[in-house]
């Protein structure tokens, strides 16, 4: 017999999920989540979850040595936790590190460096490399098994885009998290982050080689997201001047539902109703709870996602200090009103259709994508200049982290451009040389 639920979810309760994020500007922090691709240094194949030398065994060794707690799903290890820090697994065993946000990028880097130092010995002894790259360079989804997490199996069966399996099993990205002080501040940052998204995707494009071949794309990871599920990917709303928390909630409400959970068990819905319909009439005797909305929001994957902070999601995984350059750009722009003014003015002539078209053209052409009478590269250089000026004025020294991306952008390149040139040149399409190069980049 289906259990009936009496509590009725009210939109005001949903709204509080966002308003509780209000933070004084003096307390603003910066956060990061980044995924890496575990590969065998012997075969270059993606590491499987199972086996004596698999990803699960790697997590077990790390947990025992460093006293971390297991995160489990039906007794299967799907991640580790210690305080506010987590090491979790994405669907294809990609390893994601998420740490508590910090006031400075230097503090965040110190935490990541410390975590990596604890991982290093285990990785070395196991002949494993955590590749800082945007897509699996050798193995494709057909040979990459899903980890034993019930949610991922349901998602894999539901997501209908032609590259959904690539997105889930092959890709690795970097997400930046920023704070806001009010709804007005949140919406301003949310809209600007969406407008900056294609330019940032182009600057940090780092996934041209997939399955051992040149794909013809600068960011195959970005291409895979375009072809995952148009209902829940892309821009949340039309980033209009009138956009609000309520408008964002409406976007989540109108998205088809994949599943809900009751007593830790998934109840599959498979797109039969939207969350709005669920709110109005329930589903097979189940009625909405706040946890259902939170799950629904987490199962939407826009370029920029709203929580009680703003999560910017559109970057390939990149090596070494390049990942901190992503944070430095956003911190320089979003925590300085003058810098936001400058960026808004820079992009003022572009319409929604321009940003939408860029989302489809940037994965292939990167910084060389034409826009109006210019190139994405021209805008990228200006964005870098605005961020650097702001960071210098803040006197935190964090403009240092822009040096790594300036080496690329100011010469008209993204990381992908260098890889493509070497792949078709001195590397002679030799995957071993590419892996060696990416390993060196991760140490820079």
Q: pLDDT tens across 103-128, in order?
A: 999 999 999 999 999 999 999 999 99
Confidence of residue 335 (pLDDT cuts 50, 70, 90): very high
Q: Is the pLDDT of residue 36 over 60?
A: yes
In 179-300, which ranges are E strands? 209-210, 213-214, 233-234, 259-262, 265-268
Q: How many Cβ atoms are within 10 Å of 226's Cβ, its own excluded? A: 17
Confidence of residue 2 (pLDDT cuts 50, 70, 90): very low
- The arithmetic mean of pLDDT across residues 308-329, rounded, is 97
The CA distance from 237 to 239, in Å, is: 6
Domain for residue 255, yes or no? no
Provide the Cα torsion 336, 239, 256, 307; round to 10°: 10
Domain for residue 275, yes or no? no
The CA distance from 336 to 106, in Å, is: 19
The CA distance from 347 to 337, in Å, is: 15
Domain for residue 8, yes or no? no
Q: Is the pLDDT of residue 141 over 90?
A: yes
The mean pLDDT value of the chain amounts to: 95
Listed residue (218, 236, 239, 205) closest to 347, CA to CA: 239
Q: pLDDT value at position 251?
A: 94
Q: Which two tokens stand for residue 248?
A: 């964002």
Phi, psi of 145, rounded to the nearest 5 degrees:
-80, 145
Domain for residue 295, yes or no? no
Contact 73, 147 (CB under 8 A): no
Confidence of residue 138 (pLDDT cuts 50, 70, 90): very high
Rg for the chain (alpha carbons), in Å? 21
The CA distance from 219 to 225, in Å, is: 10
Listed in sequence order, the residues at least 6 apart from 1 whose beta carbon sits closer than 8 Å to its beta carbon are: none
Phi, psi of 249, rounded to the nearest 5 degrees:
-60, -40
Spell out the alpha helix ranges (H) of 270-414: 275-281, 290-298, 322-334, 337-346, 352-365, 376-394, 403-409
Least-confidence region, from 5-9, 143-147, 408-412, 437-441: 5-9
Q: How many domains does the chain have?
A: 1
Contact 300, 236 (CB under 8 A): yes
Residue-wise pLDDT for 347-368, tens only, equals 999 999 999 999 999 999 999 9
Domain for residue 388, yes or no? yes
Confidence of residue 21 (pLDDT cuts 50, 70, 90): very high
Q: Which two tokens stand for residue 206?
A: 């780092």
Helix (H/G/I), strand (E/B), else coil: 289 = coil
Q: Is the pLDDT of residue 1 over 70?
A: no
Domain for residue 74, yes or no? yes
- The arithmetic mean of pLDDT across residues 176-188, rounded, is 97
Contact 35, 173 (CB under 8 A): yes
Strand pairing report for 173-178 and 95-98: unpaired
Confidence of residue 3 (pLDDT cuts 50, 70, 90): very low
Q: Which residue has the tokens 């040139």?
A: 421
- % pLDDT > 70, the chain: 98
Residue 351: which domain range? 24-149+161-219+304-442
What CATH number did the domain enclosing 369 receive?
3.30.590.20
Residue-wise pLDDT for 250-285, tens only, equals 999 999 999 999 998 999 999 999 999 999 999 999
Domain for residue 224, yes or no? no
Element housing 371 (H / E): strand 370-371
Listed residue (300, 249, 238, 234) closest to 279, CA to CA: 249
Q: Is the pLDDT of residue 165 over 60?
A: yes
CB-side exposure of 359: number of CA atoms within 13 Å? 22
Listed in sequence order, the residues at least 6 apart from 339 whose beta carbon sits closer than 8 Å to its beta carbon are: 332, 333, 386, 387, 389, 390
Domain for residue 261, yes or no? no
């Amino acid at each position: 017999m289906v259990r009936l639920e009496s509590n009725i979810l009210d939109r005001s309760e949903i709204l509080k999920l966002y308003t509780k994020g209000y933070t004084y500007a003096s307390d603003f922090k910066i956060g990061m989540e980044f995924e890496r691709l575990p590969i065998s240094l012997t075969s270059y194949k993606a590491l499987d979850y199972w086996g004596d030398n698999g990803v699960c065994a790697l997590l077990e060794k790390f947990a025992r040595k460093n006293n971390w707690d297991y995160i489990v799903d039906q007794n299967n290890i799907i991640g580790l936790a210690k305080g506010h820090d987590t090491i979790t697994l994405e669907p294809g065993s990609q390893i994601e590190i998420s740490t508590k946000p910090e006031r400075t990028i230097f503090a965040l880097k110190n935490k990541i460096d410390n975590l990596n130092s604890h991982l290093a010995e285990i990785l070395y002894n196991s002949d494993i490399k955590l590749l800082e790259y945007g897509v699996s360079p050798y193995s494709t989804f057909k040979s990459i098994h899903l980890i034993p997490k019930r949610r991922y199996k349901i998602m894999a069966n539901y997501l209908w885009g032609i590259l959904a399996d690539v997105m889930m099993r092959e890709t690795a990205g970097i997400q930046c998290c920023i704070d806001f002080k009010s709804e007005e501040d949140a919406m301003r940052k949310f809209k600007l982050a969406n407008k900056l998204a294609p330019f940032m995707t182009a600057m940090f494009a780092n996934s041209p080689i997939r399955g051992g071949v040149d794909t013809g794309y600068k960011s195959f990871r970005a291409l895979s997201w375009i072809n995952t599920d148009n209902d829940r990917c892309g821009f949340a709303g039309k980033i209009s001047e009138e956009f609000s928390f309520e408008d964002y909630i409406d976007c989540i409400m109108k998205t088809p539902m994949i599943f809900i959970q009751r007593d830790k068990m998934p109840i599959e819905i498979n797109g039969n109703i939207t969350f709005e319909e669920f709110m109005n009439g329930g589903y097979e005797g189940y009625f909405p709870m706040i946890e259902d909305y939170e799950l629904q929001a987490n199962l939407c994957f826009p370029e920029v996602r709203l929580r009680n902070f703003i999560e910017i999601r559109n970057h390939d995984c990149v090596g070494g200090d390049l990942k901190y350059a992503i944070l430095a750009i956003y911190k320089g722009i979003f925590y300085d009103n003058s810098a936001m003014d400058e960026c808004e003015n820079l992009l003022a002539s572009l319409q929604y259709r321009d940003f939408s078209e860029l989302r489809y053209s940037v994965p292939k052409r990167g910084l060389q994508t034409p826009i109006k009478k210019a190139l994405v590269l021209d805008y990228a250089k200006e964005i870098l200049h605005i961020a650097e000026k702001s960071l210098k004025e803040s006197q935190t020294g964090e403009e240092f982290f822009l040096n790594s991306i300036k080496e690329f952008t100011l010469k008209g390149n993204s990381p992908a451009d260098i890889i493509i040139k070497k792949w078709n040149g001195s590397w002679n399409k030799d995957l071993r040389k590419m892996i060696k190069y990416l390993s060196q980049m991760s140490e820079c």
